[in-house]
């Protein structure tokens, strides 16, 4: 979520040493490019895209919260948060992520361009999260990214009619092909060619052509909006998932023959209540085709997103509940697993067969137009999905968080005889009194609430919050950082309250849409409440949940500072207390400042006190911008040594960094050695060493400048015990070799020979013991008393080797032949075939 600072705060900050006296070399002029952001470790909004490193140890996620993150797949540990320049509304949302073929870099992109800045792809170091370079795109927001196997090119699906761009990863002119509708699907075939699908019902096939690319063919689909593509491991087929349904209302997954370009097989499902299977993936062993998306069934009043796993080519299908919100993307992992990402901000690994554990949400579920209720006091609200997480109640005045809805809270008003609104829930074209409401392309109407006097309504969409009058004319509109899932209006009609998909609750002034307050509550019950200017109050341990996002003017990256580092200036519960009552954050600040000057320890002024006029506060206290530490070393280290070596760089302001602070699992440790960088400009390199315990641990690195600390940088230390030394070769025995004379051998040693005697062959009644050396075996009377194989070995043995289990002979000469008696009852003499032949070819066990 983004909260834009007011002009008064910009003037105050720009006049203070926070942004002027502490300007950093190489950091550029910060101007007004500041944004207040939620930072809760996990994504706080939909995860749109995921990508696996080639060795499948790292996972990159990109989402609507305008960040990309790198995780360890094995233990789900966050290694780095990748930040890109952001702006108003959805500028900065990320919809593409791709690893380089060598796994050393990761590229991210999304809605990063606008009329003032070009569209771009940002490339980061996958090991330490450092920004490496920026690739400019000539047009279009990026919907999906793919890094070709040869490492040469980055392919990008673009929104609008911009089609596809294939950009050299090192820079240079790009290949472009325009589509009639947005490009959404992108996949690479084993031969290095590419498939791209658009919402015009066409799949295009591209091949490398020297330094460029060329389109070689085009495949038409029956459904007009192919959303994702998945290629089988052998490349013979590719699957297509669609955004829409068939005309029969069935949900379809199509499999095409790659060579012919024709439909080879269709899987159609009629058991899904709504939505479609827009995300598809093929397991690496080629045996399972997985599909999910917005398709859902119902468990009472709860929607459940469905995962279909189809065995290939048999076609048997399993249906499983996989998440409480849309599955946005999925990729294969290993031979028989998948990684899936959801709109609830989470990701998980699911098997290609067997039980599936549904994905849990990373933020409180605020979906549903009826899940936001308001009391007589607009600061008392309940929110949360009753279907899954249950409702939560919060009081701004009391700073109390309780479970349940409480009493006296009202749901939004949506019915009136004098004002009708239609097609407002999850629709692209709502209407008021029969007149359509103008909407942006692909903007969805999510929630609506009528004003108490029926004089108009408030509409929440996937991009904006807006107020409309009775004729459908827009009074005001504000861009939101996330989708507005539900809206409500205070009973006096003066405050609008909205819940957003990033887990935040916002209050706006009903007259003009001016933002007043924002609340964020974590699943474990921590909360933080702030104004657009950054004045806040928070529960214990919750100050790190928000911070300043600073777009650096040099274009080399982004800085982020937790709000808690400016606690002495911005922690103002007295300002929060007044905002909803005065409906003006600047006026609340001025009144609180006046109260502090008059009575530093007193509470808010009485109701009959004279009004205070808001005015900029002159000469704010001087604060220093915290230093920035960049770790050059890889964030995930594996070693069998006890010494951890870290390379880093520093960017500091007026006061340089005095020392480096390192913590191992939260405990401070002494540095074995340290060499500070020659310059603290972000370019020079410093080095330090830490003695580590013989176990895996989390390492935190910070720079200290006086009493100010940098943001921590986290590293993952995976200690592996060294391999045991190889055993020394045994010294040769000095004892002389003993040779047994021939004469004594025949009597004494041979008596102990039964341990190594031949084993009788099964199926012969014990009469054949097999060949032993040069001896022959037949009946018991013929068997030699001492077979040659019973001779003792020339070297003494510690213990005899266990005999191999005998196997049943297969030759028919060893089978017993039944002898029928004569009429007088006597048996005929045995025939030759009854006697097992004693030839080595026949008696040898197998």
d(CA 153, CA 206): 13
Average pLDDT (776-801) is 44
pLDDT above 60 (res 827): no
Is the pLDDT higher at 494 or at 770?
494
For the chain, what is the mean pLDDT? 82
Q: pLDDT tier at 598 (50, 70, 90 boundaries)?
A: confident
C-alpha count within 13 angstroms, C-beta hemisphere, residue 96: 29
Question: 54-87, pLDDT tens digit by residue?
Answer: 999 999 999 999 999 999 999 899 999 999 999 8
Closest CA to 189 of 176, 205, 173: 205
How high is the pLDDT of residue 15? 34
Q: pLDDT tier at 675 (50, 70, 90 boundaries)?
A: very high
d(CA 217, CA 252): 24
Average pLDDT (533-546) is 92
pLDDT above 50 (res 678): yes
C-alpha count within 13 angstroms, C-beta hemisphere, residue 655: 16
Average pLDDT (430-458) is 89
Instruction: State the pairing for strand pair 713-719/636-639.
Output: parallel
d(CA 303, CA 319): 15
Peptide bond into 622 cis (omega under 30): no
d(CA 70, CA 78): 6
Average pLDDT (13-20) is 36
Which tokens hold the place of 805? Answer: 């289990």
Query: Contact, 451 vs 457, CB < 8 A?
Result: yes
Residues 6+ away with beta carbon under 8 Å from 331: 50, 51, 52, 281, 338, 339
pLDDT above 80 (res 728): no
d(CA 516, CA 555): 31
Q: What is the pTM of this model?
A: 0.78
d(CA 521, CA 252): 39
Closest CA to 432 of 420, 444, 423: 420
pLDDT above 50 (res 17): no
Average pLDDT (23-44) is 65
Question: 271-282, pLDDT tens digit by residue?
Answer: 998 899 999 999
Percent of the chain with pLDDT over 70: 78
Closest CA to 588 of 600, 598, 599, 577: 577
Average pLDDT (428-436) is 87
d(CA 734, CA 736): 6
pLDDT above 90 (res 247): yes
How high is the pLDDT of residue 219? 97
Q: Specify which of 569-583, 753-767, 802-816 reaches the highest per-range mean pLDDT.
A: 569-583
Among all chains, which residue has been given the structure tokens 């580590």? Answer: 692
The two most distant CA atoms of the chain are separated, in Å, by 138
Average pLDDT (768-787) is 42
How high is the pLDDT of residue 435? 87
d(CA 547, CA 285): 45
Average pLDDT (315-333) is 95
d(CA 537, CA 530): 6
How high is the pLDDT of residue 830? 55
pLDDT above 50 (res 31): no
Query: CA-CA distances (angstroms) from residue 414 to 256, 373, 410, 773, 815?
Result: 47, 13, 12, 100, 91
How high is the pLDDT of residue 67? 95
- Provide the H-helix boundaries in 635-677: none
In degrees, rounded to 5, the angle at the alpha carbon of residue 295 between the alpha carbons of residues 289 and 300 is: 125
Is the pLDDT higher at 129 or at 299?
129
Q: pLDDT tier at 246 (50, 70, 90 boundaries)?
A: very high
In degrees, rounded to 5, the angle at the alpha carbon of residue 641 between the alpha carbons of residues 639 and 647 is: 70
Closest CA to 781 of 840, 844, 839, 835: 835
pLDDT above 70 (res 762): no
Average pLDDT (468-487) is 90
Question: 142-155, pLDDT tens digit by residue?
Answer: 999 999 999 999 99
Q: pLDDT tier at 752 (50, 70, 90 boundaries)?
A: very low
Closest CA to 447 of 369, 371, 366, 505: 369
How high is the pLDDT of residue 459? 94
Which tokens hold the place of 190? Answer: 């084993």
pLDDT above 90 (res 466): yes
- Measured in degrees and rounded to the nearest 5, phi and psi for residue 494 equal -100, -15
């Amino acid at each position: 979520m983004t909260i834009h600072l007011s002009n008064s705060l910009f003037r105050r900050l720009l006049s203070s040493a926070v942004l002027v006296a502490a300007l950093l070399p190489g950091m550029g002029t910060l101007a007004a490019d500041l944004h207040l952001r939620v930072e809760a470790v996990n994504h706080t909004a939909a995860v749109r895209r995921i990508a696996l490193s080639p060795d499948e140890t790292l996972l990159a996620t990109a989402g609507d919260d305008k960040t990309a993150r790198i995780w360890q797949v094995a233990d789900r540990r966050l290694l780095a948060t990748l930040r890109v320049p952001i702006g108003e509304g959805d500028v900065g949302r990320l919809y593409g992520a791709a690893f380089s073929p060598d796994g050393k870099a990761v590229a991210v992109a999304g809605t990063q361009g606008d009329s003032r800045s070009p569209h771009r792809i940002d490339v980061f170091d996958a090991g330490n999260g450092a920004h490496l370079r920026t690739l400019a795109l000539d047009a279009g927001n990026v919907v999906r990214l793919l890094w070709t196997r040869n490492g040469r090119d980055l392919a990008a699906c673009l929104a609008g009619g911009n089609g596809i761009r294939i950009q050299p990863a090192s820079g240079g002119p790009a290949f472009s092909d325009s589509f009639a509708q947005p490009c959404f699907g992108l996949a690479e075939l084993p031969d290095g060619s590419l498939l791209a699908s658009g919402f015009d019902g066409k799949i295009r096939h591209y091949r490398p052509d020297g330094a460029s690319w060329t389109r070689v063919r085009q495949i038409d689909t029956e459904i007009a909006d192919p959303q994702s593509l998945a290629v089988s491991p052998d490349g013979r087929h590719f699957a297509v998932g669609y955004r829409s349904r068939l005309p029969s209302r069935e949900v379809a997954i199509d499999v095409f023959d790659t060579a012919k370009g024709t439909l080879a097989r269709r899987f159609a499902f009629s058991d899904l209540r709504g939505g479609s299977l827009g995300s598809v993936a093929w397991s690496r062993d080629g045996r399972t085709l997985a599909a999910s998306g917005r398709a859902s069934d119902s468990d009472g009043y709860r929607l459940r997103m469905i995962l279909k796993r189809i065995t290939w080519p048999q076609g048997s299908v399993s249906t499983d509940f996989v998440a409480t919100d849309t599955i946005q993307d999925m990729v294969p992992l290993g031979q028989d697993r998948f990684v899936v990402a959801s709109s609830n901000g989470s990701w998980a690994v699911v098997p290609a067969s067997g039980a599936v554990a549904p994905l849990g949400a990373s933020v409180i579920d605020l979906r549903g137009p009826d899940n936001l209720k308001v009391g007589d006091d607009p600061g008392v609200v309940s929110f949360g999905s009753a279907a899954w997480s249950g409702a939560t109640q919060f009081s701004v005045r009391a700073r109390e968080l309780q479970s349940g809805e409480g009493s006296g809270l009202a749901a939004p008003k949506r019915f009136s005889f004098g004002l009708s609104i239609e097609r407002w829930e999850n629709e692209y074209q709502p209407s008021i009194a029969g007149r359509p409401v103008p909407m942006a392309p692909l903007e969805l109407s999510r929630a609506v609430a009528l004003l108490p006097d029926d004089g108009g309504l408030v509409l929440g969409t996937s991009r904006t919050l807006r107020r409309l009058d009775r004729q459908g004319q827009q009074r005001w509109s504000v861009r939101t950082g996330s989708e507005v899932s539900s809206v409500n209006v205070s009973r006096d009609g003066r405050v609008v309250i909205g819940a957003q998909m990033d887990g935040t609750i916002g209050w706006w002034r009903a007259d003009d849409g001016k933002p007043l307050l924002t609340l964020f509550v974590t699943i474990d019950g921590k909360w933080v409440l702030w104004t657009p200017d950054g004045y806040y109050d928070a529960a214990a341990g919750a100050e790190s949940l928000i911070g300043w996002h600073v777009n650096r003017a040099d274009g080399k990256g982004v800085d982020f500072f937790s709000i808690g580092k400016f606690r002495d200036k911005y922690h103002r519960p007295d300002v929060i207390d007044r905002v909803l009552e005065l409906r003006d954050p600047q006026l609340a600040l001025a009144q609180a400042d006046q109260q502090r000057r008059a009575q530093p320890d007193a509470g808010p002024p009485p109701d009959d006190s004279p009004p205070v006029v808001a005015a900029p506060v002159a000469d704010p206290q001087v604060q220093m911008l915290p230093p920035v530490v960049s770790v050059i070393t890889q964030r995930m280290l594996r070693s069998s040594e006890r010494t951890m070596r870290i390379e880093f760089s520093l960017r500091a302001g007026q006061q340089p960094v005095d020392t480096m602070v390192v913590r191992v699992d939260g405990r401070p440790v002494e540095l074995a050695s340290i060499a500070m960088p020659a310059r603290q400009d972000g370019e020079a390199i410093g080095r330090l060493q830490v003695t580590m315990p013989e176990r895996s641990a989390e390492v935190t690195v910070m720079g200290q400048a006086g009493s100010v600390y940098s943001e921590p940088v986290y590293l993952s230390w995976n200690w592996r015990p060294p391999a045991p030394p190889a055993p020394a070769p045994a010294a040769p025995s000095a004892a002389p070799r003993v040779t047994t004379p021939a004469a004594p051998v025949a009597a004494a040693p041979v008596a102990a020979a039964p341990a190594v005697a031949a084993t009788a062959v099964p199926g012969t009644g014990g009469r054949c013991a097999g060949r032993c050396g040069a001896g022959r075996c037949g009946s018991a009377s013929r068997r030699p008393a001492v077979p040659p194989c019973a001779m003792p070995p020339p070297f003494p043995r510690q213990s005899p080797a266990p005999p191999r289990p005998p196997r049943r002979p297969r030759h028919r000469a060893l089978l017993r032949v039944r002898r029928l008696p004569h009429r007088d009852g006597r048996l005929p003499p045995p025939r030759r075939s009854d006697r097992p032949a004693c030839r080595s070819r026949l008696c040898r066990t197998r």
